[in-house]
Amino acid sequence: MNLGVHPETLYKMRDSGKLSTLARGLYRVSDLPPLGNPDLATVAMKVPDSVICLISALAFHELTTQIPHEVYLALPRGAEPPRLAHPPIRVFWFTKRAFEFGLESHKLDGMRVRIYSPEKTVADCFKYRNKIGMDTAREALKLYLERKKRNLHALLEAGEVCRVAKVMRPYLEALM
């Protein structure tokens, strides 16, 4: 967000240690406590039309044992790929219906971050199982079903939207 601070002032503050650089053109006051999710916050600021998806969303919702080494982003089909030097990102293009379904907005480190719901994230994992691995999709479904707060209707609806309901159903039946 542009606060009307002259670039020369920003550079002086950065050089004196009062500001730290998160990404090109993105600064943070150094005295603040460390960010809990610096990569997600940085991507949300630099690519505001994107949605955190797949393994990054699984990690946010605590539905995986994996640690994402890049930020997984969803963009609407036809959108320009973002050009970020850091953090590393992996982009997936979704159809309009799949892109808009299951969107949630969360406050992370004082910033609005768009992340898919747990149900949509699990369905997306089945949709992109050939890119992220079937073991990741199965683990996500298993961890989702172990939750007290689960919504099987929303999970099946997400499977329909992502066109993977028939793929998910045998795994769902085996784990129930």
pLDDT at 20: 67
pLDDT score recorded for residue 11: 72
Residue 36 · residue 16 · CB < 8 Å? no
For 31-46, letters b (16+ CB in 10 Å) and e give eeeebebebbbbbbbb
The letter for the amino acid at 162 is C
Range of lowest pLDDT (6-15, 46-55, 70-79) = 6-15
Contact 64, 135 (CB under 8 A): no
87 pLDDT tier (thresholds 50, 70, 90): confident
Which pLDDT band, with edges at 50, 70 and 90, does 83 fall under? confident
pLDDT digits (tens, 9 = 90+) for 15-63: 777 666 666 666 656 666 655 567 888 888 889 999 999 999 999 999 9
| CA 134 from centroid of its chain's CA atoms | 19
Q: What is the pLDDT of residue 129?
A: 96
Q: pLDDT at position 15, please? A: 76
pLDDT at 9: 74
The reply to whether the predicted model has a pTM over 0.85 is no
Predicted local distance difference test score (pLDDT) of residue 28? 58
- Which tens digit of pLDDT belongs to each residue from 105-163? 999 877 899 999 999 999 999 999 999 999 999 999 999 999 999 999 999 999 999 99
Instruction: Write down the pLDDT at residue 86.
Output: 81
Q: Please give the residue that has the higher pLDDT: either 68 or 35.
A: 68
Report residue 122 as tokens: 């699990």
